Amino acid sequence: MTDVTSLLPLAAVLVPALAVPLILASGARPNLREAWTLLAAVGTLAVVAVTVRSPGTQVTPLGSFAGVDLALRADAAGLLFALLAATLWVATSVYSVGYTRGLGESGQTRYFAAFAASIAATMGVALAADLLTLFVFYELLTLATYPLVAHAGTETARSAGRTYLAYTLGGGVLAFGGILLVGVLAGSLGFVPGGVSGLTADPTLGRAAFGLLVVGFGVKAAVVPLHAWLPAAMVAPTPVSGLLHAVAVVKSGAFAVTRSVLYVFGPDAASDLGVALPLAVAAAVTMVFAALVGLRQDELKAGLAYSTISQLSYIVLGVALLTPLAAFGALLHVVAHAFMKITLFFAAGLVYVETGEKYVSDMAGIGRRLPATMTAFAIAAAGLVGFPLVAGFVSKFHLVLGAAASPHPAFVAAFLVAGVLKLLYFWPIVYAAFFGRRDRTTPASRHPFAPPHDRPEGGHGGAGSSGGRVPAAADGGYLRPTAWERRSPLAEAAPALLVPVLFTVGMAVLLGVVPTALPFWELAETAVAEVFG
């Protein structure tokens, strides 16, 4: 593909960036402010969509910084990530409006502004043409997401924010060291499909560079033992957890690892240096460990956080296996997981806004109250486990085949074990939601693995046990209700909350039934062809 100089990649970064001052300026008029967010989201998606359809590879040189030429380059892998983030930002913006207004959150202007800044930084990470550009936007992403993590302003939130910063900026420092080494060894920092030359000249330094890059970027990709920030960051509002921590931030980490392994070192150099196997082992361990720990989480968002950690390792493992099929599966999984996980987070947030419940043990029988939401949850969870007809099956299929065809077929076991563990976590939740009872008197209402959290004694209804609001209880909430009120699917929640959930789960099903319908399949194919030749 020939390089075409154009402003499109820069526009993809600038449109969300320009929304930031506009949002900050319209803080006093919430509807105008939300309009800016939605306009910017649609605009970014339009720009990225046009870039996908344009012939040739769009490049925007960004001038020189500290003696290195920076540029944005919309190649296949970058566009895959950018298109994903742009699509999900539209859905998340609508959802955010519903969520923040539904809960009456404070600091909404700062929230939406930081969100727009985070998306701008994500676009920069996706479309970076070289390691230094990627690093600049990577660090900007950390700075932009910090106010979102610490949004609530409580001591827990501030502490989570500090943990987040410590881990991610610490990882950034290590990645910086790796970038320096690559620069000195290879003489240039640009991404080349299949790897730059010169990195195998000095094996010790080459391995050190690989290690620094992968560990540094692996912090954001939540590879065990660098994952502790992710569950802590769940204190952030759910749309933040959804888009940023299940899509943008962690996917930036996984994406940066992918760039390092496939576009800086390349499959040949990585296997020559012998560094891919340790990475694959670390990913496999993370996969299983996180799934095991997640099994015991009663707080739904914590369980989803551990599931994210586990699923990200699918991507890292797929990349570390260094075969075209596994890499293809990994790239597809970037997309599939994003749609499924964001559906789950949206559903969790919707549950919290509508009923005040955060804990799985309190959600028995909630399918009566939120039928459409819990159906979407069930479908997305099925996809995560790997059931056919949902996006997760397609990506997992390729990952498992790729692992089987790689020099180390033992990793297939990791995928299968993790899948079973996820089934063990999600299935009881779904079953309890539809077949359980709110008073938890039947076995179906209790999760076999996740111990219920400590709840205050007495019958203070939903408000007492979860701290949230209970929709108008005629008796003042003294008696603990034994069943959720039944709602029809159209009336169960605010449209701003429900429509994005249905949209993302619909996309997950679409990608599962007709994977080639959206550009992601083609972009992943092109990327793999570029890298592996």
Partner 1 sequence: MIAGDLLALLVALPLLAAVVPLFLAPQSPRTARALTTLVLAGQVGLAAAVAWVAATDGPITYVVGGIPAAFGIGLFADRLTAAMVLLVALGGLGAFVADRSARDGPYLSLWLLLVAGLTGVVVTADVFNLYVFLEISGLAAYALVAHARGADAALAALKYLLVGTVGATLYLLGVGYAFVATGTLAMADLAPALAAAGHDSTLVVAAFGLMAVGLGVKLALFPLHAWKPDAYASAPPAVAAALAALGSTVAAYALLRVTYGVFTPAFFEAVPMVRTLLLAVAAVSVVAGGVLALREPDVRRLLAYSSVSQFGLVGLGIGLASPTALTGALLALVGHAVAKGGLFVSAGAIAREFGARTVGEYAGLARRSPAHGAAVAAMAVSLVGLPPTVGFAAKWYLALGAVEAGSWAVAAVVVLSTLLSLAYAGRLVERLYLGEGGSDPTRGPADPPTVATDGGRGDRWALAVVLVAAALVVALGLASTALADWFAPVVEGWL
Q: Is residue 17 part of the contact set for partner 1 (CB under 8 A)?
A: no
Residues 499 and 96: their CA atoms lie apart, in Å, by 12
With CB under 8 A as the contact rule, the residue among 101, 158, 460, 487 that binds partner 1 is: 158
In the structure encoding, which two tokens stand for residue 271, read together? 């296997």
In the structure encoding, which two tokens stand for residue 48, read together? 């990225």
Closer of 81 and 146 to partner 1 (Cβ): 146
Q: Is residue 67 part of the contact set for partner 1 (CB under 8 A)?
A: yes
Residues 432 and 79: their CA atoms lie apart, in Å, by 40
Helix (H) or strand (E) holding 5: strand 3-5
- Report which of 209, 203, 204 is spatially closest to residue 184, judged by C-alpha positions: 209
With CB under 8 A as the contact rule, the residue among 5, 29, 61, 65 that binds partner 1 is: 65
Cis bond before residue 407 (omega within 30° of 0)? no
Q: Is residue 351 part of the contact set for partner 1 (CB under 8 A)?
A: no
With CB under 8 A as the contact rule, the residue among 21, 56, 61, 153 that binds partner 1 is: 153
Give the count of beta carbons closer than 10 Å to the beta carbon of residue 476. Answer: 8
Residues 28 and 22: their CA atoms lie apart, in Å, by 12
Q: Is residue 162 part of the contact set for partner 1 (CB under 8 A)?
A: yes
**C-alpha triplet 194, 50, 132: angle, nearest 5°:** 40
Binding mask 181-220 for partner 1 (x = CB under 8 A): x-xx------------------------------------
With CB under 8 A as the contact rule, the residue among 36, 95, 176, 306 that binds partner 1 is: 176
The residues facing 74 across adjacent strands are: 58
The least distance separating partner 1 from the CB of residue 177, rounded to whole angstroms, comes to 5
Binding mask 101-140 for partner 1 (x = CB under 8 A): ----------------------------------xx--xx
In the structure encoding, which two tokens stand for residue 329, read together? 């599966």
The least distance separating partner 1 from the CB of residue 117, rounded to whole angstroms, comes to 13
Closer of 146 and 377 to partner 1 (Cβ): 146
The most distant pair of C-alpha atoms in the chain lies apart, rounded to whole Å, by: 76
Is residue 185 within 8 A of residue 206, CB to CB? The reply is yes
Q: Is residue 64 part of the contact set for partner 1 (CB under 8 A)?
A: yes
Q: Is residue 22 part of the contact set for partner 1 (CB under 8 A)?
A: no
Residue 274, helix vs strand vs coil: coil
Residue pointed to by tokens 């996180």? 290
Size of residue set near partner 1 by CB under 8 A:
29
The least distance separating partner 1 from the CB of residue 229, rounded to whole angstroms, comes to 15
Residues 146 and 101: their CA atoms lie apart, in Å, by 21
Q: Is residue 165 part of the contact set for partner 1 (CB under 8 A)?
A: yes
List of residues contacting partner 1 (CB under 8 A): 63-68, 135-136, 139-140, 143, 147, 150, 153, 158, 161-162, 165-166, 169-170, 172-173, 176-177, 180-181, 183-184
